[in-house]
Amino acid sequence: MPTIVGGRVDRLAPVRRVTRGIDRRTVVRTGIVAAVAFAAWLAIGAFGRPYNFFDMKIYHGAVVWWASGHELYEFVAPGTTLGFTYPPFAGLAMLPMAHLPVAGAGMVNALASIAALAVVLAGLLRPVVDRLGWPLWFTTAIATPLAVAIEPSRETLGFGQVNLLLFALIIADLIGLRWRSRRGTHHADGDGPLLRFVYGGGWAGAGIGLATAVKLTPALFILYLLVTRQWRAAGVAVGTTIGVTLGSFAVVGAESRAYFGGVLWQTERVGAADMTPNQSLAGLLARLYDSIETPGLLWLAFSVLILALGLSRAANSHADGDELTAFTLVGLTANVISPISWTHHLVWVIPAIIVLADAAVRRREASRGLVLRSGQGGYGGPPGVAGLRPPIWYPTLTGARHGLAALGLYLLFLISPIWPYEHQLPEVSHYQDGLFGALMENSLALALIVLVAALPWRPGAEPAFYSDRTTRIALHHRR
């Protein structure tokens, strides 16, 4: 018997050696990630819609039709009036999926989009978690399923859309601008020309250029780069867009002429403006007027106002060293002023939630600093008056406004209350459920407009940008 027991103990030795190296905290964190992922899956089932890669079926059918020798923009999906609406470069990028079944193409797109979202979140959260001392892998692993569960992400994945991939291209330029502002100092010494180019951020702008070549609305980021005098990145973006577009003309000239000569201007190919999933300003106005069409002059006037507001606030955010908020404001502005912004286009609420949450944490940290200093020299009173301390609840409530805004914004886009009040003219009026129903049907669009007008930026949040600005100011004053 002792021999048998001893043999069993010996067989457990390798297991013990493996488990000895596993931190208990890592096991707990892994369990938390699994629980969050499961909760996100349940939330998608509860608040999402039935998904069957509807848009992917159109793209897949179009490229299969094109690969078989037909004209790309003559394709019409069976049982619908919908066809391919992207520029020819997008068709070329999607052409390889003609060799896959539509379900396989949809799954490949979904996996690539989730991977891209995880990388984006790691890049966006890195400065925050480094400041707070949190592990990046754990924060990103929690943030990814939470982000997948909300309306823009789940609609993108369920319909087989490309918005998360385009989002990743644009955020890649944000990372490139960070590296460029730091001049690649961490990698310049001893690295080859390729690594110096990569980590030096000289390529920043290429992602925006590629995204613009696929879908025209990212062109607003080029305007932002020009407004903020980021000339090199703007030049790279413009050059990439023109180069890719001219290359498409060289490869598929007939399709390029068909798109830019006609398809681009056929707005009826996209859908009616008043459709509930269109949460742009144009959709909002059409539904408020209970009309299939948007009141053109009113939409133009408000669009110009929102464009000026969004770009000016983005420029101010950039000047104060918060490039993430600047990019977020530009993306939100593009969502608002675009004639059509389906709910799967609204991916810029993801960084907006991050900005609000981080603003709450920053304000709370600052209030703690005030409390500590108040113990040494007083707080809130006139000079020379010591011992006046802030109320004990002050640090707790500081930042609560931004924290509640972040939570409310997340819950709004998680629940997405537009769908119970979805109406379609001329069959059903958009006021069928009264003013409350109209408010719910337009809730996402209203949230976007409020964010463009009120999203706070965080001075000095991007030290690479902020240090350049303060250095220039200091040099100016020295002169």
Asked if the model's pLDDT at residue 55 lies above 60, the reply is: yes
Average pLDDT score over residue span 89-94: 91
- Residue 4: pLDDT band (50, 70, 90) is low
Number of Cβ atoms within 10 Å of the Cβ of 408? 13
Q: Which two three-digit tokens encode residue 170?
A: 């644009």
Residue 469 confidence (pLDDT): 47
Residue 13 confidence (pLDDT): 57
Residue 235, classified by CB atoms within 10 Å of its CB into exposed (0-12), middle (13-18) or buried (19+), is middle
DSSP string, 414-460: HH-TTGGG---TTTS-TTTTHHHHHHHHTHHHHHHHHHHHH----TT
Amino acid type, 139: T
pLDDT digits (tens, 9 = 90+) for 190-241: 566 766 667 777 888 999 999 999 988 999 999 999 999 999 999 999 999 9
Average pLDDT score over residue span 119-146: 94
Q: Which two three-digit tokens encode residue 71?
A: 């004209």
Cα 277 from Cα 420, distance rounded (Å): 12
Output DSSP code: residue 95.
Answer: G
Average pLDDT score over residue span 96-115: 93
Residue 35 confidence (pLDDT): 97
Cα 424 from Cα 292, distance rounded (Å): 9
DSSP string, 341-383: -BGGG-TTHHHHHHHHHHHHHHHHHHHHHHHHHHHHH-SSS-T
- Residue 366: pLDDT band (50, 70, 90) is confident
Paired residues of 342 in beta bridges = 278
CB 304 within 8 A of CB 121: no
- Rg value, the chain, Cα: 26
Q: In sequence order, what are the residues at sequence separation of 6 or more whose Cβ sits closer than 8 angstroms to the Cβ of residue 387?
A: 378
**Residue carrying the six token digits 């068909």:** 258
Cα 277 from Cα 180, distance rounded (Å): 38
Residue 223, classified by CB atoms within 10 Å of its CB into exposed (0-12), middle (13-18) or buried (19+), is middle
pLDDT digits (tens, 9 = 90+) for 251-310: 888 888 888 887 777 666 667 889 999 999 999 999 999 999 999 999 999 999 999 999
Asked if the model's pLDDT at residue 186 lies above 90, the reply is: no
What CA–CA distances, in Å, run from 350 to 144, 226, 229, 330, 337? 10, 25, 26, 13, 19
User: Chain-wide mean pLDDT for the chain?
Assistant: 85
**Residue carrying the six token digits 């200093």:** 373
Cis before 391? omega within 30: no
pLDDT digits (tens, 9 = 90+) for 332-365: 999 999 999 999 999 999 999 999 999 998 888 7
Let me know how long the chain is. 479
Asked if the model's pLDDT at residue 468 lies above 70, the reply is: no
- Residue 384: pLDDT band (50, 70, 90) is very low
Residue 424 confidence (pLDDT): 85
